[in-house]
Amino acid sequence: MVLKSRTEKHELVTENYYENELLVQDLLNANNNLNAADFDVDITSSNHEILVSFDGLPSGERPSGTVSLYKPDDSSLDQTMNMLLDGDDRMLIKPIGNHGRYKVSLRFNIAGTDYYKEKRILL
């Protein structure tokens, strides 16, 4: 086992390190944009559903983007969907799985500015 471990290549860097670093920086910038925004976004859970709600959106502006649900213990329950808000600037999501931990990620754009929000919830 020791001989095998010495012959294996162990690197802590991925082949596309710089591309991944740019993606991470884009998410950080989008999160900073949300922190500086004049509106609020909330992600809550109730009755095995996830509610995404916006408060104080600029008049006439609608976010476009995606909502991703990541289930760390069962990737078959991961979902990504387009953000479709109702007339009250809310979106109710019924996950494939009905219980457990989820990471909910919102990536959206309003008037040419990118935003990102992430929250871990328990159903």
Q: DSSP letter at 2?
A: H
Q: Is residue 63 part of a domain?
A: yes
The confidence band for 19, taking pLDDT boundaries of 50, 70 and 90, is low
Q: Residue 29 corresponds to which tokens in the numbers above? A: 């910038």
The confidence band for 115, taking pLDDT boundaries of 50, 70 and 90, is very high
Among residues of the chain, what percentage have pLDDT more than 90?
Answer: 66
Number of domains into which the chain is organized: 1
Q: Is residue 39 part of a domain?
A: yes
Tens-place pLDDT, residues 63-72: 999 999 999 8
Q: Which domain holds residue 67?
A: 14-122
- What burial letters (b/e) apply to 45-56, b meaning 16+ CB within 10 Å? beeeebebbbee
Tens-place pLDDT, residues 38-57: 999 999 998 899 999 999 99
- What burial letters (b/e) apply to 73-112, b meaning 16+ CB within 10 Å? eeeebbeeeebebeeebebebebebeeeebebbbbbebee
Looking at the predicted structure, is the pLDDT value of residue 17 above 80? Answer: no
Q: Is residue 8 part of a domain?
A: no
H helix or E strand, kind and range, residue 30: helix 17-36
The amino acid sitting at 92 is: L
What local confidence, expressed as pLDDT, does residue 59 receive? 86
CATH code, 108: 2.60.40.10
More confident residue, 99 or 110: 110
The amino acid sitting at 65 is: G
Q: Is residue 45 part of a domain?
A: yes
The count of C-alpha atoms lying within 13 angstroms of the C-alpha of 87, restricted to the half-sphere facing its C-beta, is: 0
What local confidence, expressed as pLDDT, does residue 52 receive? 97
The amino acid sitting at 115 is: Y
Q: Is residue 5 part of a domain?
A: no
